[in-house]
Amino acid sequence: MLAKLFLFIGALGAGACLVSAAAVPFTVVVYNIENLHDADGVAVYDDYQPDHYTPRHLATKLTNTASLMKRFRGGEGPDIILFNEIEIDQTPKSGVEDVAAFVERWRGQSVAQLLDTDVLPAELAGVPAEVWLFKALHDAGLRGYQMAIGDDQPSPPTAERRKAIKNVTFSRFPITGVRQHQVEQARVILETEIEVAGQRLFVFNNHWKSGASDPVQEQVRIGNARVLQGRLKEIFKADPTADVIVGGDLNSSYNQKARNPRMNRTAVDDIMRIGYSEPALRRGEIPLYNLWYELEPAQRGSDVFRGEWGTLMHLIISRGLHDFAGVQYQDNSFGVARLPGQNADFADAPIRWNSGGRGGSGFSDHLPIYAHFNAVSDDSPDRLINLQDPSNTPPSGEVFRVNYAAVDLGQALEPDALPAEVDLRDGSWTGKLFKVNGSAISGRYPKVRFMGQSYDVYSPRSEVRDALAAQATRDRRLRFYGMLGIFRGNWQFVVQDLKWVQK
């Protein structure tokens, strides 16, 4: 996937000439950033309280995100970014009114320098997460953005369900209109109207109700989808060839109904009618097409849950993006920004955010998805782009697992190869693969003593948990290959496959 990202970008200038002499190319990225919180010490989630999350943790997350965004378009970064899971400012009275002035005020110091402290000075304590992100992108040379911010408001402390996160859209093109659509038990749907080289583009940033496999929660997502569908009907009634991009974390699989046969109705299949067939989209038989179908089934995945690839993040387009009027999709340009050694591990799974150590490490439990577009001036809505290998195959319910069994266990770190007096909990070793051989600690769940410290031992697979429990009972020792991490404040090794249990 990395090769696809850079090869496509490298050929972008030449490819654009084949579309239209006046085409203006641009890139859209969708990224669930996994709970980007500010550093004011006031948070809904326990993991982002001052004991676990400091300004240095925020600095790490910001610089990692900026470095990832800089990988797009040869270092220029995406032109439109749909971010999910940015914290609702829990101290809104202390926000930043003029973001440009804030960046100018601190242009001589990077976010890493400003946040290299245990407690922020008063003049920085009230800066919300999206402004810190704007500053981090600016520091990395990714500039010229405007922001549209979801107007979700913090809940009172007594509320049964407290709101913590919102959607934010960054755009280098002028944002000419913003609408907010309230939905049940989910983040406000953020609609932005963007002018791209004089062309009108509607962009919807979503983060629907969680619980992708839960039929009860699907009913809530159906309500979320109806709100979006109602607005899209208005747009398409006014202009059937309107250019629309729907993106974000829908907490639904692209094959939601096929993957979850217990669900009689689903938000993406039955309410939104998001289709798999490009020919049907072009004939006007379906209103929307999901770009996941641009990839082979085994490549469809941007998140991992219990070892299975998921497709909760989406980029969905309207028929208008196939014509020669306004904004146009670049055929087969959709991809997953899976960058081994940066935001993806040795099995290509996301390296999620981890608060362990002085400043934390990692990125997100989601990989960004992206696609390339053009703004064209042909004004030919009846002329459609040429397609190579158009998708027309219905989805199946097949589930693909991360291939941890194929990981080269010879790369695992062993105690003898580590520096003397190393501290595995300083944050620099998180996500690394270790060969573990240590005393089993009795208890309800297996624990192991390794290099003088106690660690939880976890696996998402029941057969692995059974094998580890049997080994601990039989030998009073645990021998396995495990990924070092932290969960709810506890350090642990995660054993991903039965082959990782040593005989």
Q: 296-332, pLDDT tens digit by residue? A: 999 999 999 999 999 999 999 999 999 999 999 999 9
DSSP code, position 47: G
355 neighbors 415 (Cβ within 8 angstroms): no
- Looking at per-residue confidence, does 22 or 145 come out higher? 145
Domains and CATH numbers, the chain: 2-17+26-384 (3.60.10.10), 407-500 (2.40.50)
Mean pLDDT of the chain: 93
Average pLDDT score over residue span 208-226 = 98
Residues of the chain above pLDDT 90, percent: 87
Is the model's pLDDT at 9 over the cut of 50?
A: no
171 neighbors 197 (Cβ within 8 angstroms): no
Q: Can you give the pLDDT at residue 156?
A: 86
Is the model's pLDDT at 223 over the cut of 50?
A: yes
Residue-wise DSSP of 196-216: ETTEEEEEEEEE--S-TT-HH
In 237-346, at which residue ranges do the beta strands (DSSP E only) sit? 244-249, 274-275, 288-290, 303-305, 308-310, 313-318, 323-329, 335-336
d(CA 388, CA 381): 20
Degrees, nearest 5: CA angle 298-68-426: 100
| 4: confidence class by pLDDT, cuts 50, 70, 90 | very low
455 neighbors 492 (Cβ within 8 angstroms): yes
Of the ranges 233-242, 416-425, 440-449, which is most confident?
233-242
Average pLDDT score over residue span 126-147 = 98
Is the model's pLDDT at 17 over the cut of 90?
A: no
Identity of residue 136: A
Of the given ranges (11-15, 133-137, 312-316, 453-457), which has the lowest mean pLDDT? 11-15
SS3 342: coil
Of the given ranges (18-27, 285-294, 313-322), which has the lowest mean pLDDT? 18-27
Model's pTM, two decimal places?
Answer: 0.93
Neighbours of 443 (CB within 10 A): 9
Neighbours of 385 (CB within 10 A): 16
Which pair of tokens denotes residue 40? 């004011």
- Looking at per-residue confidence, does 357 or 21 come out higher? 357
Q: Can you give the pLDDT at residue 5?
A: 34
Neighbours of 400 (CB within 10 A): 13
Cα 339 off chain centre by:
13
Question: Which residue has 């607005």 as its token pair?
Answer: 231
SS3 273: coil
The number of CA neighbours under 13 Å toward the Cβ of 381 is 12
431 neighbors 362 (Cβ within 8 angstroms): yes
Question: Which residue has 């693969």 as its token pair?
Answer: 433
| 20: confidence class by pLDDT, cuts 50, 70, 90 | low
Q: Can you give the pLDDT at residue 243?
A: 98
Residues of the chain above pLDDT 70, percent: 96
pLDDT tens digit string along 52-87? 899 999 999 999 999 999 999 999 999 999 999 999
Average pLDDT score over residue span 473-499 = 94
Q: Is 31 exposed, middle or buried (0-12, 13-18, 19+ CB in 10 A)?
A: buried
Q: Can you give the pLDDT at residue 10?
A: 32
Is the model's pLDDT at 408 over the cut of 60?
A: yes
Considering only CA atoms, give the Rg of the chain.
Answer: 23
pLDDT tens digit string along 453-483? 999 999 999 999 999 999 999 999 999 999 9
Average pLDDT score over residue span 288-293 = 98
Q: Can you give the pLDDT at residue 427?
A: 87
pLDDT tens digit string along 232-263? 999 999 999 999 999 999 999 999 999 999 99
Average pLDDT score over residue span 43-59 = 94
